[in-house]
Every structure is written in structure tokens, then in C-alpha cells.
Structure 1
């Protein structure tokens, strides 16, 4: 199938846009670009996922093909915690975008620092601007942190500033993406936190199979750019669907990542293939336009699944009958593990792999309240609670 042109977008600007959409999760929140550490708030401690749930083949890979291990391999002992507390280490976080997922990671980092007697010296916001990230890391280095947690916005242009940090002895914990040609345990100490991209796709295939009672014709919208996060989520869904004997993908359509393009693509898809009763959308920014297309066509019978949980899509899932499942990484666990991984490097403990994997959860109308708590470590927002009661 011929891929559509991106128009005026360059490859770099497209990937930056994708990072914004994937890591923003559809949030409409806005914040100032940079902020100092806010006072530590009380947070409820969340018990980790049971280890037996994680004993399965890992199909997800890191940005350079790294084979990850589960986050449960990173466990600080009481002796480790005492050593960390005695050193009064400092931690900083360069946040990518202001949204529920990234904000939760920041809260978890701050909480874990307080637990371990560490100082959370600063948080900055780069809004996925490569130049702003360089400026932020420079400012954070002036605070003399021992650990910096950050997503490498531009793997090429960010290399120099992160190399400077590493040369100063700073442990670097990268969130999903790291600089190019940046070799683990040679160019930097620390590691890479990623989430289970591939399995997110398999969870949505399972949810769609159940919603369609094991029999359906599927429209598959996939992200056309070469981007390791979305590509693996798409692949996981497609391969899982192909394993269900009663499901068949009858339309495969590339998507630029521009939300409005999803509405156009879905409209054309259901017109050409009216037999479609299930649709996969790569992430939530495209789901709402897809729902609009289905309603305009009077196709309220079609079920939609997508990735990322935010209030808008969760509300649509609760109130409507079209979006039936969403996935999201355990953001709170992500932040806790980022600090613990950094502590491993500070203590000189052996880290089993460069990439550390955080699991995700699949949410439906029936379990959204439970999933929201485990993902974000907070209660379901009031408007969603009220919608559930109707």
C-alpha cells in the first residue's frame, strides 16, 4: 500500500510531533516551561505487580534493539537504602511535556527521593524542544545532581550535553529514548526505562476479540513513521489479531500521526469496507476523530481500541459504546524505578540490562477506576466517577 506524504513536515519535525502526542497522551494541560521542585506531598505507596504476572516472553525492544529485563530485577535492599540515605544524593528531572503521564513520573521521583533520604533538587520542562533541553540540563548541572532523569528529545543534538553530564560523574536514567552512539557503561552510567510496547498491542487485540465475541472484520490504522515505540505497539496488535481465528484484518491504512487525518482515514476505511466492526488506532489523539467519523456515518456498531489513557478518551469510553479499551504504562512505577535504577549505578551494583521494562495495563469501562489508581497513584477524577454512576 502506498504511504501518504507528510506534506511540509520533515522527518525530524514529524518524530518530535509523535513524541509530543505519545508522551502527552492527549492531555490539554498547560504549565510554565520550567519550575523548581514543589513541596513533597503525601503519596500512597503502591505495591508492585506480582512477579508471576511478568514471567512471559518479552517481545519489546529498546530504541537500539536492547533486550530489556523486568523492573522487578531492580530491587534496593535495606542495606542499600541506608547507604543511599547516608550520602544525601541529589536527583533532578528534565520533564518532556506537561501531562498526566509525565507529571506522575515526576511525583513518583519526588516521593521516592523522600523515602530514600535524597534531595530532589530541580525539575525543568523542555516541551520537546531540543535547544530548551540543552539549556535545562546546563541549569540542572549547576545544582550538582548525582542523578538526572530525562528523555533524550533529539538523540543527535542532545548527545553533547548528556556527555558533559556523564563526564562530570552524573548518573543518567533515560526515559524511553537516549542519545545516538551513547554506549552503556562506557559513555554513561545508569540505564534506560521503557514500557512494554509490544504487549500493549496484544492487550488491545485481546480486548477487541472479547468485545466482538471472537468474530470480526478489523480496520487497522498504523503509524507510518519509523518510530520504535509506535511501531512495536502496532506490530503487537497486528500479530495478536492474526492469531485469533475469528478475526481478520480487512483494511490496513497508514496514518501520519496528525489527529484530523485519522478521521479522514477511518471515513474512507468504513466506506470501502462496510463489513468492518472493529478498528485499531495507534494512540488516543487519533481515537476521538475516529469516533467522530463513525458517528457521522451512523456506524455506532463499530468498536475502537487505542493506546494511552487521559480524561477525554476515558470519558468517551465510559459514556459511549465505541471506544472499548485503552492501554497505559504504569507511570507511578516508572518514576520509582527510575530513581532505584540510578541508585544502583551510584552504589556500583550490577545492573542486569541497559533497558528496564515497566508493564502496562488495559482499561475498560468496568475496570477504569482500578487501572487509573494503579497507573497514576491517585483517585479517578470526579467527572469520570460521576459518568460511571450514570
Structure 2
């Protein structure tokens, strides 16, 4: 039954989305995306901090809501005055990044956090990788607390179990900022400063719109959904389904296939096209899941079925650049996500009330705008192999 999978499976999705011992790295950051920094996608805000520009206009109203019904603001609404920037610089504060995994997306977030804290004079004393293991995340928090950080930028792996994981930090007065997933019952302004995530409804809406327009508003498609209780995935899948139904009633979802184990997605897609050979497209819930769909289609010789997904990654970007099966990937401002996390943490250091939730926007990435989409997401030039494939 949908949503009936244990929390450990949900943790796998976090790796795809956000994508030994403590592994505290005090000198090095995780490996990031290759490429040269791109200045055209950044601007300086009123406080003198570097911020990323959305390639799509920001809507007047944000439809996404938080796990406790929070109404978010756009990332650009979180900002510091020049005076506040100087006050943070004089504080000689220390920060730690406590991640659940390392991936291109999470590395981009770490890049944003570190660049902003460097500009604010905040020393990042640790970066940890829990390797998707909740007990290890708890151990990482304990190890990092020994370094006496003033602020921790982090993510919960298990919202229930991680109430205990982060309680020692709360008890020590450390300012917590969460990326996408927070402990259950933690309240903004009390146990943590703010929650920063992407526009969940926007991600689903943009993907559905791209698929609907490409199919001319009619045809049969398949959908693979994540069969687990994982808020960020569930919300964007829900938005995809609602937009498709309301805007494109001529498109029929002939099968919604549950995926409890992401390693099985290729088999799921192969079975789907065998049962429904007349489908024109398949939606996969995230980037690496889409890779399995592409593999199944190629093995079946079905070059006529388009693949649509959320999140931006090298393998699917290369396929897209070659004019392959991946037709659209919906992305977001990954480095700016990190910038916003860092600025939210600065709010906590200053004792400034932060919005309970902030989001970075969603935007479509297709072959025609792949270069711009990549640069806006990661802040660096498109990898040379992908750029060459698109020529």
C-alpha cells in the first residue's frame, strides 16, 4: 500500500533527492561539480552577499506548504542588512554542516553554505556524511557538538528518531537550520531557526506542464511513484498528479506503479511498457530513478517514449544533450539553497526572527536551455562532455 514502507527506505530517497566513524572533515569540503564558476547567474543583494538568480520569475503566491502547514517565503526574502553582516563578522562564530549523504546536489548546497559563511566571517569547523545511516547521524551530531559550533546546518533522516538526535544541540543552545526535513514536532523559532527547501508544488507542476505540452494535451502515460512516507517526494508527486489532471484531462495515466526499492525501477519500467505498449511518456520521481527508466526503454528498443523527471544529474543531462529519451528535468537553485540555509543560520546568530520556512524556485530544464539550467542549478559551466554532446 502507498506510504507503507519503513523509514529506512525513505532515507534512500533523501540520498537521491538532496541525492565510518564520524567522518568529520575539518579541512576539506566534499567533492563538487566540475566546471568554472559562472558570474551571469549571480547578483549581490542589499547586504553585499552573493545570491543566485532564478531563471524563472517568482510567483506572487507560493502554493507549497511545510510539513506542519507552514506558509513559506521565497529565498530572496531572507537577507541581511550591511549592519547585520558586519555584526555577524565581528561575532567570530563557528558553524558545522551535518549531512546525511554526499551527492552532487548536496555538494552544491555545501558550496553555498561555505561561500556565504566565508563572506560572513563564520568558520565552518566540520562537514559530516552519515552515509544514510540514522544512528550515524546521531553520532555525527554528538561529535560535532564537541567542536562547539554556534550553528549547525543539517537535515533529518528519520523525523521521529531524530527528535532525540538533535535534542543535545537544542539543549546546548546551538542554532539549527534544516534542509527539507526536520524532526517531528520541532517548532521554528523554538528548537530550530528555519526550514529551507525547494518549491515542492512547483517542481511537480513544472514537470506535469512540460509533459502535457510535449504530448499536445493527450495520450497515455505511465507514472512511477515512491511508495514511502517521505514528505518532499510525496508533495511533488501529488502536485504532478493534480496539475496533470486539472490542466490536461486528455492525458490518461494508464498505470501508477509503486516503487519501494529504487534499485528495482528498471524492472518496474520494463513491466510497465510490456503491459502498456502504447504509452507515450513515463514520469519518474527523481533523477537516478529516471536513469533506470531510460535503461529499460533502451533495452526494449522503445526510443519513442519520453522520460520526465525532477532533479538534474550528469547521466540524464548527457542523454538529453544527445537528443535522447530524457525530455525534461525540473530543477532548482541548488547553490542558492545552501546560501539561504547559511543566511537563515545568521538570523539565529543575530537573534533575528526568521520565517519558519523558505523555498527556492522550480524551473524546467530541456535540451534548449540545458546550459542555462545547469549553470543556475550548480553555479558552474556545463561539463565539457555534456556541452560537446549538444553541438
User: What TM-score results when the alignment is normalised by the length of structure 1?
Assistant: 0.89
Map of 1:288-299 to 2, 5 A cutoff?
Answer: 288-299=291-302
Cα distance in 1 for partners of 2:90, 2:244 equals 52
- Paired position in structure 2 for 1:373: 375
Cα distance in 2 for partners of 1:125, 1:51 equals 31
Comparing 214-223 with 109-118, which one deviates more in the overlay?
Answer: 214-223
Partners of 2:312 and 2:329 within 8 A in 1: yes
1:272–1:105: structure 2 CA closer, same or farther, 3 Å change rule?
same
Partners of 2:54 and 2:376 within 8 A in 1: no
Aligned pair 1:181/2:185, yes or no? yes
Over the aligned positions, Cα root-mean-square deviation in angstroms equals 2.6
Partners of 1:37 and 1:120 within 8 A in 2: no
192, 212, 215: which is aligned to 1:212?
215
1:89–1:135: structure 2 CA closer, same or farther, 3 Å change rule?
same
Residue deviations 1:346-380, cap 9 Å, x none? 212222x3111111222111111111111111111
Partners of 2:9 and 2:261 within 8 A in 1: no
Shift of 1:338: 0.7
Cα distance in 2 for partners of 1:146, 1:203 equals 38
Shift of 1:115: 0.9
Comparing 134-143 with 73-82, which one deviates more in the overlay?
Answer: 134-143
- Paired position in structure 2 for 1:195: 198
Cα distance in 2 for partners of 1:142, 1:283 equals 36
Cα distance in 1 for partners of 2:382, 2:306 equals 24
5+ residue gaps, structure 2, are: 44-51
- Paired position in structure 2 for 1:226: 229
- Paired position in structure 2 for 1:171: 175
Residue deviations 1:210-240, cap 9 Å, x none? 3223333222222222221111111111111
Cα distance in 2 for partners of 1:73, 1:329 equals 17
- Paired position in structure 2 for 1:27: none
Cα distance in 1 for partners of 2:207, 2:350 equals 39
Aligned pair 1:147/2:154, yes or no? no
379, 382, 385: which is aligned to 1:383?
385
Cα distance in 2 for partners of 1:380, 1:85 equals 34
Partners of 2:95 and 2:123 within 8 A in 1: yes
Residue deviations 1:282-303, cap 9 Å, x none? 1122212212222333321111
1:23–1:52: structure 2 CA closer, same or farther, 3 Å change rule?
closer
Partners of 2:204 and 2:239 within 8 A in 1: yes
18, 23, 33: which is aligned to 2:13?
18
1:122–1:5: structure 2 CA closer, same or farther, 3 Å change rule?
closer
106, 109, 112: which is aligned to 2:113?
109
Comparing 272-281 with 36-45, which one deviates more in the overlay?
Answer: 36-45
1:259–1:183: structure 2 CA closer, same or farther, 3 Å change rule?
closer
Instruction: Classify the secondary structure of the residue corresponding to 1:385.
Output: helix
Cα distance in 2 for partners of 1:228, 1:249 equals 25
Aligned pair 1:242/2:253, yes or no? no
Comparing 96-105 with 341-350, which one deviates more in the overlay?
Answer: 341-350
Partners of 2:189 and 2:353 within 8 A in 1: no
Shift of 1:95: 1.8
1:226–1:93: structure 2 CA closer, same or farther, 3 Å change rule?
same
Greater relative contact order (Cα 8 A, min sep 6): structure 1 or 2?
A: 2
- Paired position in structure 2 for 1:314: 317
Partners of 2:93 and 2:149 within 8 A in 1: yes
